[in-house]
Amino acid sequence: MLSITRIANHCWLHRPLFTLSNRPSITKLKLSTFSSVEVSCSSDEECDNFLPWLERKAGTKISSVLSIGKSAYGRSLLASKSIEPGDCMLKVPYNVHSEWAPFMSRLPQLGEMHNTIFWSERELDMIRQSSVYQETIKKNVQIEKNFLAVKPAFGHFPEFFDGITFDDFRHAYALVESRAWRSTRGVSLIPFADFLNHDGAAEEVVLSDEDKKLSEVIADRNYSPGDQVLIRYGKFSNATLLLDFGFTLSYNIYDEVRIQVNIPRHDPLCAKKLELLHVHCTPAIEDVNGFSSSQDSFTIKEVRSAKGKGRGIPQSLRAFARVLCSTSSQELSDLAMEAVQNDGRLARHPLKNKTRELEAHWFLLSKITRLVEEHNVSIKSLEPSSSPFMFQKFALRKQMARDLLAGELRVLKSASEWLKNYCTTLSKS
């Protein structure tokens, strides 16, 4: 038994659609329900004939305890009978993991998707302080390149592709990217399981049985009839959820912030510092989606304790700051020698010069403090409006922008408190 997960991962931008099968396999998938949000659910009469059709296609029973319903999160799966922990709630044979018109017709329409690649310039401006803003622009550029690459082939099959526009292609791209599942077998769509929505706080379940050639979901708790059944797509931040799936959580324990820290070009030691970082730091890596991560890009997660307990600021970011704040060739040489004498990693230990160590961390603190201020301003501009003229779609995306920025602000504040404590402790030592 192996676990299976949605296509999206911690890296945001994706390869062209036609190379999805080359993705690496398997992370764990989880199952639970929202604990802090009450969701009103109702039966979806339009889909009453879908499960019987799917079972006829599969030639086997898929689920006797679930039905398709409607909730605030779109189509979802509801418990139609009482479910207990350990019950198998659905089994979808591998031979129905792709196809067909009745399945495709029930996927979200273009106007129902809220991935940021569909946002207008005005809407994107709400999240300009987040790295999701730039990631969205990059992703749209990549999707357009994919479209232009395959567009010449459309003319050879006019009966299928006549009149296909970039918006049509982007819609199809987003559907497959956000709703496909990955396992050791590669990538596939899993009808019916596709309607399961996401909850970040969940317990692990097994979903893929390679021996039986089917995908299944095992309950980890009791469900009463009418309860919405939810799974965890992965340990995704709101940034990933919004970019790849088109929704956010009001509180996401996996939120993170990606920040850029650059060595100023006017720094007289700029060339030497860049060379030192290139030699001793982890080289730029091309992620599974085909995009390179630069050495001056860092991801900060929430710091659980400002007093030094648990995980603090990433060591790679602190090392970068130590190099950046060096003021002489001798200091850089000392850092290089220390790296060689240890495990090869650069500036992973506090600088012997306490003044320089403080400068490096005060620099980081000033950078993060500025980001905190910018996020505060942006969030304040997104205060809920009581205007009756606000379109529902814009109001929903505005709330998503608040969720995204509020989560990032929480992460930034925790990092700020950790740095303040570190600098204060170091000053007194």
Across 33-37, 84-88, 389-393, least confident range? 33-37
Residues of the chain with CATH 3.90.1420.10: 256-428
Of the pLDDT bands very low, low, confident and very high (cuts 50, 70, 90), residue 150 is: very high
Compute the distance between CA of residue 223 and CA of residue 238 in angstroms, rounded to an integer.
Answer: 27
For the segment 219-245, the average pLDDT, to the nearest whole number, is 90
293 against 226, higher pLDDT:
226
pLDDT at 16: 31
pLDDT at 287: 34
Compute the distance between CA of residue 393 and CA of residue 104 in angstroms, rounded to an integer.
Answer: 23
For the segment 92-110, the average pLDDT, to the nearest whole number, is 72
pLDDT at 72: 72
pLDDT at 12: 33
Q: Residue 38: is its pLDDT beyond 70?
A: no
Mean pLDDT of the chain: 82
pLDDT at 173: 93
- In this structure, which topology does domain 256-428 adopt according to CATH? set domain protein methyltransferase, domain 2 (3.90.1420)
pLDDT at 111: 86
Whether the predicted model's global pTM rises above the 0.95 cut: no
For the segment 318-334, the average pLDDT, to the nearest whole number, is 94
pLDDT at 126: 97
**Hey, which residues does 301 pair with through a beta bridge?**
256
Across 78-82, 213-217, 246-250, least confident range? 213-217
Compute the distance between CA of residue 30 and CA of residue 34 in angstroms, rounded to an integer.
Answer: 12
Q: Residue 174: is its pLDDT beyond 50?
A: yes
Q: Residue 25: is its pLDDT beyond 60?
A: no
For the segment 407-423, the average pLDDT, to the nearest whole number, is 96
Across 11-20, 92-101, 264-273, 301-310, least confident range? 11-20
Residues of the chain with CATH 3.90.1410.10: 5-245
Number of residues written out for the chain = 429
Q: Residue 245: is its pLDDT beyond 70?
A: yes
Q: Residue 235: is its pLDDT beyond 70?
A: yes
Compute the distance between CA of residue 236 and CA of residue 404 in angstroms, rounded to an integer.
Answer: 12
Q: Residue 281: is its pLDDT beyond 50?
A: yes
pLDDT at 5: 66
pLDDT at 32: 38
- Confirm or reject CATH 3.65.10.10 for domain 5-245, answering yes or no: no
Q: Residue 409: is its pLDDT beyond 90?
A: yes
Q: Judge contact between 421 and 306, C-beta under 8 A.
A: yes
Q: Residue 352: is its pLDDT beyond 80?
A: yes
For the segment 414-425, the average pLDDT, to the nearest whole number, is 94
Measured at the CA of 369, the angle between CA 236 and CA 364, to 5 degrees, comes to 85
Of the pLDDT bands very low, low, confident and very high (cuts 50, 70, 90), residue 280 is: confident
Query: What sign results for the dihedral spanned by CA atoms 97, 102, 105, 107?
Result: negative
pLDDT at 137: 97
